[in-house]
Amino acid sequence: MHRRDADPINRLRALVSQEKIRILICSDSNGRKESIRQLFEESNSVAGQNGKPLYPLKPEGFEGVADFIKSDALFGLVTAQLFNGFTWPAENLIVVTEAELFTTTARQRRKGKASEGADPDMLFKDLSELKIGDPVVHSDHGIGRYQGLVLLNLAPPKEDPIFEEFLHLVYAKDATLYVPVQQLQMVTRYAGSDPDSAPLHQLGSGQWDKARRKAAQQIRDTAAELLSLYAARAIRKGHAFEFSAHDYAAFAESFGFEETPDQANAIAAVIGDMTSGTPMDRLVCGDVGFGKTEVALRASFVAVMGGKQVAILAPTTLLAEQHVATWKDRFADWPVRIVELSRFKTTKEINAALEAIAKGEADIIIGTHKLLSKETQFANLGLVIVDEEHRFGVRQKDALKALRAEVDILTLTATPIPRTLGMAMEGLREFSIIATAPQKRLAIKTFVRREGDGVIREAVLREIKRGGQVYFLHNEVETIQNRKHALQELIPEASISVAHGQMHERELESVMREFVTQRTNILLCTTIIETGIDVPTANTIIMHRADKFGLAQLHQLRGRVGRSHHQAYAYLLVPDPEALSKQAQLRLNAIQAMEELGSGFYLAMHDLEIRGAGEVLGDKQSGEIHEIGFQLYTEMLNRAVKSLRSGKEPDLLSPLQATTDVNLGVPALFPNDYCPDVHERLSMYKRFAGTNDFSELMGLREELVDRYGDLPDQAKSLYETHRLRLEMAGFGIKKIDASPASFRFNLSLIHRLTR
């Protein structure tokens, strides 16, 4: 059968009608198998050209190809991932794959979906991480605490039970609210401060309405200010870069690895920004080693080939050194001059570099904060690349703000700070996430342990015996030599070197080179290694007083190991795990739980919850965000911006979207024996409740069947509930109650008056 057959079903009918021909269709998954079966069922109701029903196709389900062959069926359907179909003359059998049956295969769809990259909005809305006692926000009732999923019988007395699953929430004064799982689009995770201090609202008191009204006024003002920023940005003219596609392809070819889907998307987005003629301000978020540097290299190439200078701003001298080596290696075959401004350079070298920059003879300038000083005069600056913006001080950030008015800005980060994340989420900055791990990369195993000689010696010797190296983080320069002597006595088998920021540049450079060339086993260091040190053989890191570090810093430090295909380990040592402050416990719990590859963005979300989002345009923490939660604040702000853009006064207190409450009079849920994991059920309920179109709803059904098997009756009822909810969209129907004896619906008063 031809892959692009215009009418595959009619073609199959013609084949099945031939004597002794048997056909078996192989689907990619159980979900796709169910969809194909439904497709044929629907086609059987279509009449042919003569008005009579077409030859019906009713594929029978089989466990496998052998099961079908043993039967006497002419037309079958199995789940089997084959690349191509085949014919078997001895059995009069034709095997057709899903890819050959349809123009767009399930594999292509899945690949396309993956290549879209992580969706930051979905990361906010995921309820699957909820634990008992966590705060959540109900858009109508305010902030309460999650107490789990419960089954309630909705049937009248003496009638057969009708069980539904509800979200159990507790509010102030121990008031209880049960939220039907069909309405989970109204519930979001609370992010805005320490979860323990989330302000619980009192049901029926008007407290939540007052908080929302106050927030709505502040949000309206913020939206107006945002629009003025948008308008200012819109009238600014950026440089539309032009470059040779042939040259770019040759440069891209020198990348020694295959691009991950997220990485390819980030590169495409950056180049799209640079060639658009509008000034770029894009944040690329991705874990250490996930390919952010390649995004920056491609952007550098486009800028230089377009006749502009590139400034690459690194937070540490060591990282600047590493970037210089990387950029020189990739641009070795191109007529590009790269210079460095850092404290590793002599005064004579720095003066020569400054002169070359001012004359336009230097194309790419890599350095630390000295790049932003008044001494550095660029001849034709077009692109600024900032690595880990949160590592720079207020004065450097002010200088960056001034640059944003004139040049393209590309910021790279592993864990954006809450304020930066908030700005990206609200559209002030473009945002790309690289969440796909490189091939063969393993997650870093992370442990929080009470500090002791036994733990340290065991961790170090395990790494040394497999030929590896260890980072030992001791962030106190005054006592670092004492720590070195203690380690030498504890582990006499190891050779130890010391690195910290107060050392002379040449001495520090020598120490780092000794460690990179494996002349020493242990690098006893401060946070000077936080960014930029890439040593593939170092795969264990031990952190003294890990409770004193921030979440983003812990994630960055942990990222120093695990840069190869070897299993890496991170030991977070604390004096007494039970005596830590609440925030320190939250940070360490988050970093330990989020050890999966690509977890940097999720850690930033936890950081936002722990520290608070902060005002988008101000420097102080926002009381409104604390009162209503960051996600609801963001949704209301987006609505306000859209309304003001269209010339309307925003109505921020009405429901985010009108939905129909559907009760079919039968159990509508995912049974515990069908989907036993409560977090998975919660996540699926949320996704069903948040669907806004039929294709998305059908895709969720396919995913369910693929993961858990055919839908039981209760799950089918839940699916039909949401299908009917979508059917009723726009008709103003608030509620539908159905039973074998009656059908009743309530029409919105506002809708009736406007008809």
Domains along the chain with CATH numbers: 8-112 (3.40.50.11140), 124-200+657-753 (3.90.1150), 245-434 (3.40.50.300), 445-596 (3.40.50.300)
Q: Which helix (H) or strand (E) holds 571?
A: strand 569-574
pLDDT digits 0-9 by tens, 419-431: 555 555 555 567 8
Most confident of 21-35, 505-519, 527-541: 505-519
Q: Report the 10 Å Cβ neighbour count for 477.
A: 14
pLDDT for 117 equals 40
Least confident piece of the model among 93-107, 523-537, 604-618: 604-618
**pLDDT of residue 305 exceeding 90:** yes
Which residues, in sequence order, are CB contacts of 571 under 8 Å at separation 6+?
447, 449, 455, 456, 459, 540, 541, 542, 543
Q: DSSP assignment, residue 549?
A: S
pLDDT for 304 equals 96
Q: What is the mean pLDDT of residues 373-391?
A: 84
pTM over 0.75: no
Residues in the chain: 755
Distance CA 470, CA 538 (A): 5
pLDDT confidence bin for 570, thresholds 50/70/90: very high
pLDDT for 302 equals 95
Buried/exposed 735-744: b ≥16 CB within 10 Å, e otherwise: ebebeeeeee
DSSP 181-208: GGGGGGEEE--SS-GGG--PPPTTSSHH
**pLDDT of residue 586 exceeding 90:** no
| Average pLDDT along the chain | 78
pLDDT digits 0-9 by tens, 693-724: 888 888 888 888 878 888 899 999 899 888 88
DSSP 206-243: SHHHHHHHHHHHHHHHHHHHHHHHHHHHHHS-------
pLDDT for 617 equals 44
pLDDT for 93 equals 85
pLDDT for 288 equals 67
Least confident piece of the model among 258-262, 423-427, 611-615: 611-615
664 with 738: CB under 8 angstroms? yes
Distance CA 130, CA 127 (A): 6
pLDDT for 266 equals 92
**pLDDT of residue 676 exceeding 60:** yes
Q: Which helix (H) or strand (E) holds 413?
A: strand 408-413
In the chain, the amino acid numbered 237 is K
pLDDT for 641 equals 75
pLDDT confidence bin for 678, thresholds 50/70/90: confident
Q: What is the mean pLDDT of residues 92-115?
A: 55
pLDDT for 268 equals 92
**pLDDT of residue 308 exceeding 90:** yes
pLDDT for 385 equals 93
pLDDT digits 0-9 by tens, 203-244: 888 888 888 888 888 878 877 776 776 666 666 777 889 888
* φ, ψ dihedrals at 577, nearest 5°: -55, -30
Angstrom distances, CA of residue 724 to CA of 308, 354, 465, 713, 720: 57, 68, 63, 16, 6
723 with 664: CB under 8 angstroms? no
CA 122, 128, 131, 136 dihedral sign is positive
pLDDT for 120 equals 40
76 with 69: CB under 8 angstroms? no
**pLDDT of residue 7 exceeding 60:** no
452 with 574: CB under 8 angstroms? no
278 with 594: CB under 8 angstroms? no
Distance CA 49, CA 52 (A): 7
Q: Write down the residue that tokens 């920056």 correspond to.
A: 296
pLDDT for 489 equals 94
pLDDT for 594 equals 65
* φ, ψ dihedrals at 450, nearest 5°: -70, 135
